[in-house]
Amino acid sequence: MNAKHLAHYIDHTALTAEKTEADILTLCDEAIEYQFFSVCINTCHIPLAKQKLAGTPVKICTVVGFPLGANLTSVKVFETQAAIAAGADEIDMVINVGWIKSNQWAAVKEDIQAVLAACQGKPLKVILETCLLTKEEIVKACEISKALGVAFVKTSTGFNRGGATVEDVALMKQVVGDMGVKASGGIRDTQTALAMIEAGATRIGASAGIAIVKGIKDNNSDY
């Protein structure tokens, strides 16, 4: 696979707080031009992106419980419902890391299950924030996600102390099998993106999508 073939793997991402409407419109234009799978944006920007992307194949991906995952489940459910009503095609939810660390696995499962139900068939990706988890916790979170039937497990928010690693992607893929794995956080060049795909990633979350498909390195991206 060469760099240009990577475009359809990429959720072209802009999630930092300072992103303006102009930034989101540019993101959408880039996604159309380079044929990225989706734009990944905060929920407030969905109506703008929906209007801009009308008639194109580019999907709208958004985030729920982002970036900490520590919201009440009812809040995540409402956020999911509102995002889909606004035009979101895919939902990336952050798992409740504190509950994992407290060994409250039933609560973790119920949290994911409630958001999955709110998705009403739209693809749900569960963000594990792997840099905060042990290997055993990653495995258990993947097992729960697989059993519930979510579409993807995802490595990272990109807002914590570490992003995707080849080792974690391979471990996640080993557990979930045919289910999707999204690698995100710190992927800024073609070589890294290809390594993630070789390890088992079926989607890449990156703000450096243009650099990735052009075969250059982007040291300035924020995701």
- Catalytic (active-site) positions: 92, 154, 182
CA torsion sign for 119, 54, 60, 86 is: negative
Where does residue 72 rank: exposed (0-12), middle (13-18), buried (19+ CB within 10 A)?
exposed
Nearest to 96 by CA among 117, 119, 121, 127: 127
Q: Which two tokens stand for residue 33?
A: 């031009």
Cβ neighbours for 25, distance < 8 A, ≥ 6 positions apart: 48, 52
Whether the ω angle into residue 67 lies within 30 degrees of 0, i.e. cis, is yes
To the nearest 10 degrees (0 to 180), the angle between helices 105-119 and 135-148 is 40
